[in-house]
């Protein structure tokens, strides 16, 4: 067994930080606010101690923490090496016996007994572990009983200590309070803070082999009577699972800028909290170096998200064809899955006459007389009129018994006017003419 | 010659000399093709048909299409051989600048189509820089007359002819890829 110990001189959120090391090994233990242990012996074919050291330093640097990293054959020796800043086991002070016997502080009675042993031997001039190890075990048993036997075993790193289970937090959230720093909804400081929160969140998600799909950002302002919306909760649901800060932050920026335009922040911001509401599994491992389809698809989903934030969901879409023959109903909007292939191919398009490229929002009534067509009171000469290229009628079945209002009966003609402008004009049973589409 | 005319002439010259080696899109009945990373303005009653042919000649590229009042018919696009999954439609009623800027910055859409609702040179200049960086070609569909903005590198008027499959193309301005 090889164990890496990360010892924090200043108190650190070890439970949160330990999650980041799940990428190295699932066997992790934590001493609250003080130390993280990672079993790295079983992964020696994946990375060396040297590379672990380098990567761990970078990870800690990103989170703004620093730790002393040491390696040992057990939790206890790696811990004492880190805590007492030496790799010479025998030179370590006798007080380290407490860490060797009960590193996770699980048995307070045992700990008290060990302190008594330490005091006794320090009085006798035994000041370090090297000297203690030389004492015969029989004498220790005679003087201190079973505790003496156990302490001797631990000093010789003989007995195995079970690792306490490490369970990562169920809810991934990051927050920061601004007790003194006052700002009134300027976007930049908020984005700056959100970036660092997202950095940490994505690192935690990566370690759990997950990707972000739903996120909530809470902005808490100072409570004032003139400011009813002092807590803002913004929910984000992404079209594709997110794995990068850059794309996600852009989406957040769009929403926040719109939010602050609509509802300005009227009191100082006190805190920002980001909570992961939903994450999905992904297959970790080596990235495909021969294509970037996955990255591209994530970028497309990200820009789709940004556009939706900016313009509204109904204004950003793709289309799919329908079976309806009416030109205005021949397609429908598709709001999700940007640039994904449709399941059912539409192969009926060849059966229909060629449609012109533009459809009018509303059919435009025109007059036709003596070789001319009058469009918005302007007269155009008709060069060619292809009669009855298509007849579209239907909808009578929608109200079979009542008054039939929704029926339609259109006779389409393809008309060419001056400058070879092509128009698709339909005639109603009342002999009225409407332009429905045109080339342009 | 006044200062504006001199500047305009210099811009034309530097544009055509510096950027002759640009990558080009194949384009129907335009031998030189359409340069990548430029702003193009199109007029005429067959411009969409021409554009669709261009998209068909350059498959496997995504298209970002900002709509104006009238809707380009998806069925017409499909009938002319365009895969509808390639196109993202945007209904931008008011400000088109932001979605266009976003599409250009993303570098994911080689073809961007939008109505030309701009008149400030500054805006065209921004589009020109972004297009150049992303190598996307921005097709602006003009209203009646060509814009005078210098960052527009290609201005074409495309009309129908007697022959169904042919276009009558009038090149009003072409900075890149001019056939010598």
Handedness of CA A151, A157, A160, A162 (dihedral sign): positive
| CA separation for the pair A329, A334 (Å, rounded) | 14
For residue range B109-155, what is the model confidence (pLDDT) as tens digits? 999 999 988 888 899 999 999 999 999 999 999 888 888 888 898 99
Question: Quick check: A214 and A276 in contact, CB under 8 A?
Answer: yes
pLDDT digits (tens, 9 = 90+) for A385-407: 888 788 888 876 655 565 656 67
Of A296, A315, A357, the CB nearest to B73: A357
**Does pLDDT of A344 surpass 70?**
no
Residue B88 to residue A327, Cβ atoms within 8 A: no
**pLDDT for A136:** 85
Please enumerate, as own/partner, the contacts of A347-354 that have beta carbons within 8 Å and a separation of 24 or more. A348/A323, A349/A321, A349/B75, A349/B78, A349/B79, A350/B79, A352/A325, A352/A390, A352/B75, A352/B79, A353/A389, A353/A390, A353/A412, A353/A414, A354/B76, A354/B79
* Touching A: B residues 28-67, CB under 8 Å: 45-49, 52, 62
Mean pLDDT value across residues A291-315: 84
Q: Quick one: pLDDT at residue A402?
A: 59
Q: How far apart are CA A150 and CA A144, in angstroms?
A: 10
Return d(Cα A370, Cα A379) in angstroms, integer. 11
Position A243 scores a pLDDT of: 84
Q: What is the pLDDT of residue A194?
A: 92
Chain A to chain B, count of Cβ pairs less than 8 Å apart? 125
**DSSP-derived pairing of the beta strands B63-67 and B87-91:** parallel
Instruction: State the Cα–Cα distance between residues A428 and A190, nearest whole angstrom.
Output: 59
Buried b vs exposed e over A43-55: b needs ≥16 C-beta within 10 Å?
Answer: beeeeeeeebeee
pTM, full prediction: 0.72
Q: What is the mean pLDDT of residues A343-369?
A: 81
A352 part of contact set with chain B, CB < 8 Å: yes
Determine phi and psi for A220, rounding to 5 degrees.
-105, 120
Smallest Cα distance from A313 to chain B, Å: 10
Q: Where are the domains of chain B?
A: 3-174
Residues A147, A152, A158, A162, Cα dihedral to 10°: 30
Q: What is the pLDDT of residue A157?
A: 82
Instruction: Determine contact: B97 vs chain A, CB below 8 A.
Output: no
The pLDDT value given to residue A313: 85
Contacts of B106 in chain A (CB under 8 A): 299, 303
Answer whether residue B64 shows pLDDT above 90. yes
Residue A418 DSSP label: G
Instruction: Answer yes or no: is pLDDT of A270 > 50.
Output: yes
Predicted ipTM of the assembly: 0.84
pLDDT at position A223 is 77
Please, what CATH class does the domain formed by A173-283+292-311 belong to? alpha beta
Closest CA to B72 of A417, A390, A438, A285: A438
Q: Which chain B residues are Cβ-neighbours of A361 within 8 angstroms?
A: 69-71
Burial class (CB in 10 A: 0-12, 13-18, 19+), A419: middle
- Neighbouring CB atoms inside 10 A of B78's CB total 21
At A342, is the pLDDT very low, low, confident or very high (cuts 50, 70, 90)? low
Residues of chain A with CATH 3.30.1490.100: 173-283+292-311
Low-confidence winner among A1-10, A241-250, A333-342 (lowest mean pLDDT) = A333-342
Residues A36-84: pLDDT tens digits?
A: 999 998 888 888 989 999 999 998 888 888 899 999 888 888 888 998 8
To the nearest whole number, what is the mean pLDDT of chain A? 85
- State residue A4's pLDDT score: 92
For helices A49-63 and A187-207, angle between their N-to-C axes, nearest 10 degrees: 150
Pick the CATH number of B3-174 from 3.50.50.60, 2.40.110.10, 3.30.450.20, 3.40.50.300: 3.40.50.300
Q: What is the pLDDT of residue A261?
A: 84
pLDDT tens digit sequence for A16-34:
888 888 888 889 999 988 8
3-state secondary structure (DSSP) of residue A97? helix
Could you tell me which residue, B61 or A139, shows the higher pLDDT?
A: B61
Q: Closest Cα of chain B to A354: distance in Å?
A: 7
| CB-CB under 8 Å, A419 with B159 | yes
Nearest by CB: A346 against B69, B78, B98: B78
Cβ distance of A419 and B161 shorter than 8 Å: no
Q: How far apart are CA B52 and CA B77, in angstroms?
A: 7
User: What are residue A334's phi and psi, to 5 degrees?
Assistant: -125, 115
Question: B35-45 pLDDT, tens per residue?
Answer: 899 999 999 88
**Which tens digit of pLDDT belongs to each residue from A109-134?**
888 888 888 888 888 888 888 888 88
Q: What is the mean pLDDT of chain B?
A: 85
- pLDDT value of residue B111: 95
| Whether the predicted pLDDT of B179 surpasses 50 | no
The predicted pLDDT at position B166 comes to 84
Query: How many Å separate Cα A203 from the centre of its chain?
Result: 10
Does B104 or B92 have the greater pLDDT score? B104
């Amino acid at each position: 067994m090889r164990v890496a110990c990360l010892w924090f001189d200043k108190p650190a959120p070890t439970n949160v930080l330990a999650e980041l090391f799940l990428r190295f090994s699932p066997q992790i233990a934590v001493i609250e606010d003080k130390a993280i242990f990672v079993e790295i012996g079983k992964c020696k074919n994946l990375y060396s101690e040297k590379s672990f050291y380098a990567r761990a330093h970078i990870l800690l640097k990103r989170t703004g923490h620093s730790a002393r990293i040491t390696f040992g054959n057990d939790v206890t020796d790696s811990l004492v090496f880190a805590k007492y800043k030496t790799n010479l086991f025998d030179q370590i002070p006798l007080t380290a016996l407490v860490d060797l016997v009960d590193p996770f502080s699980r048995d307070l009675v045992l700990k008290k007994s060990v302190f008594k042993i330490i005091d006794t031997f320090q009085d006798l001039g035994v000041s370090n572990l090297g000297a203690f190890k030389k004492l015969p075990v029989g004498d220790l048993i005679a003087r201190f009983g079973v505790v003496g036997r156990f302490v001797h075993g631990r000093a010789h790193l003989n007995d195995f200590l079970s690792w306490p289970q490490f369970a990562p937090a169920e809810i991934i959230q990051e927050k920061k309070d601004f007790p003194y720093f006052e700002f009134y909804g300027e976007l930049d400081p908020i984005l700056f803070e959100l970036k660092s929160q997202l950095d940490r969140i994505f690192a935690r998600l990566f370690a759990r082999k997950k990707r972000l799909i739903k996120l909530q950002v809470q902005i808490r302002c100072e409570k004032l009577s003139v400011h009813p919306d002092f807590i803002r909760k913004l929910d984000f649901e992404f079209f594709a699972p997110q794995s990068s800060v850059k794309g996600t932050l852009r989406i957040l920026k769009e929403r926040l800028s719109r939010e602050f335009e609509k509802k300005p922040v009227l009191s100082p911001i006190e805190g920002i909290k980001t909570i992961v509401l939903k994450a999905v599994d992904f297959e970790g491992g080596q990235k495909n170096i021969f294509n970037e389809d996955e990255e591209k698809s994530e970028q497309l989903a990200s820009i789709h998200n940004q556009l939706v934030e900016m313009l509204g969901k109904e204004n950003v879409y793709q289309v799919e064809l329908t079976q309806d023959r009416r030109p205005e109903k021949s397609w429908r909007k598709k709001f999700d899955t940007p640039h994904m292939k449709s399941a059912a191919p539409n192969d009926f398009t060849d059966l229909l006459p060629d449609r012109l490229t533009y459809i009018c929002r509303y059919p435009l009534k025109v007059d036709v007389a003596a070789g001319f067509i009058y469009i918005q009171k302007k007269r155009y000469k008709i060069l060619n009129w292809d009669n009855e290229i298509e007849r579209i009628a239907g909808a009578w079945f929608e109200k079979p018994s009542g008054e039939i209002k929704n029926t339609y009966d259109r006779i389409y003609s393809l008309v060419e006017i001056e400058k070879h402008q092509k128009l698709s004009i339909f005639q109603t049973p009342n002999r009225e003419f409407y332009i429905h589409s045109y080339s342009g | 010659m006044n200062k504006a005319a001199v500047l305009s002439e210099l811009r034309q010259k530097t544009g055509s000399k510096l950027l002759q080696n640009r990558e080009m899109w194949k384009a129907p009945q335009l031998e030189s093709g359409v340069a990548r990373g430029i702003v193009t303005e199109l007029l005429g009653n067959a411009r969409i048909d021409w554009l669709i042919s261009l998209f068909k000649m350059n498959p496997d590229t995504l298209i970002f299409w900002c709509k104006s009042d009238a809707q380009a018919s998806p069925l017409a696009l499909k009938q002319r051989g365009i895969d509808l999954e390639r196109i993202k439609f945007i209904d931008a009623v008011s400000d088109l600048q932001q979605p266009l800027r976003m599409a250009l910055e993303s570098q994911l859409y080689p073809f961007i189509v939008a109505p030309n609702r701009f008149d400030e040179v500054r805006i065209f200049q921004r589009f020109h820089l972004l297009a150049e960086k992303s190598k996307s070609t921005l097709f602006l569909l003009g209203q009646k007359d060509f814009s005078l903005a210098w960052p527009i590198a290609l201005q074409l008027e495309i009309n129908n002819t007697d022959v169904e499959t042919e276009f009558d193309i009038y090149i009003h301005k072409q900075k890149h890829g001019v056939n010598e």
